[in-house]
Every structure is written in structure tokens, then in C-alpha cells.
Amino acid sequence: MRSSFLTILVLALILVGCSTQNNNAQPEWITEVMQAEGTGRAEPTDNPFQTKLMAERASEIVALNNLVQQIYNLPIDNTTVEKLLPADWKISNFTINTVQHQQDGSCKTMVSIPLSHIWNQVQTYRSK
């Protein structure tokens, strides 16, 4: 009887130890830089420079949305970054790497962000 109690106790302690998460353990992706591309197009206007800038802005917005979606899907412990950041979180400290205006009037933009920055933000929100 005593030995079955000890066996159950040991198994319970093992299970508790397995389910405990280390909220300070750094994820594998912390040293990576994430990139995303976006393509935008604007309706033609009387001012071709304005049309070009509108296409550029559209491509930047699409690229940033793509980057945010990738960030939200990063795994942390048994969840994702999206569930650990507040609903009003805004991306910051990103870099616009390239902007390429195409002959068809569209524009392609490549953006990136060091994932260490995302990890720092997750840690900040976890500690609140």
C-alpha cells in the first residue's frame, strides 16, 4: 500500500514538473531576423508622383501586415506570440529593406525585424 502511494506521488510530481513552463527561457528564433514582402498598387491619378507614392505606401502596409502575421504565429512555450501580446500591440523598430517600383505601376516593399525585439516586447508584457 505504501509503495503504491509513493509511486503515485512520484508520478504526480513528474507530471507537475513536465507541465511547468519556464517563462524566461528564450525561444530558438530569438537570434533570427524575420522578413516579409508586400505588393501594392494605386488607382491612377492626375499626378503620377502621387500615384507612385500611394503604391509605395500600399506595398509597405501589405508588407507590414504580412510581417505581423508571421510574428503572431511564432511559437512560445505551448502558445503563440499573438496570445501573449496585447490586442492593441503595434509593430515598431522594423526596417524597410527595399522598395522597388515596377513598370506596371505597382510597388514591392521588403521589410524586416530582429526577432530579439519581439522577444523583449513579449517579456515586457508578461511582467505586467
Distance in angstroms (rounded) separating the CA atoms of residues 8 and 68: 45
The mean pLDDT of the chain is 87
Position 125 scores a pLDDT of 87
Provide the β-strand partners of residue 96: 111
In angstroms, how far is the first alpha carbon of the chain from the final one? Answer: 46
Q: How many CA atoms lie within 13 A of 4 on its CB side?
A: 1
Position 16 scores a pLDDT of 47
Of 49 and 22, the structure prediction assigns the larger pLDDT to 49
Position 9 scores a pLDDT of 47
**What tens digit of pLDDT does each residue of 29-85 get?**
999 999 999 999 999 999 999 999 999 999 999 999 999 999 999 999 899 999 999
Residue 84 CA, chain-centre distance (Å), reads 11
Q: How confident is the model at residue 18 (pLDDT cuts 50, 70, 90)?
A: very low
Contact (Cβ atoms closer than 8 angstroms) between residue 55 and residue 41: yes
Of 10 and 39, the structure prediction assigns the larger pLDDT to 39
DSSP label of 19: H
Q: Domain segments of the chain: what residues? A: 32-126
Mean pLDDT value of segment 102-128: 94
Name the residue with cell 507612385: 52
Mean pLDDT value of segment 8-34: 67
Instruction: Provide the whole-model pTM.
Output: 0.79
Distance in angstroms (rounded) separating the CA atoms of residues 113 and 120: 13
Q: Which CATH number fits domain 32-126: 1.10.1740, 3.50.50, 1.10.357, 3.30.1660?
A: 3.30.1660
Position 8 scores a pLDDT of 55
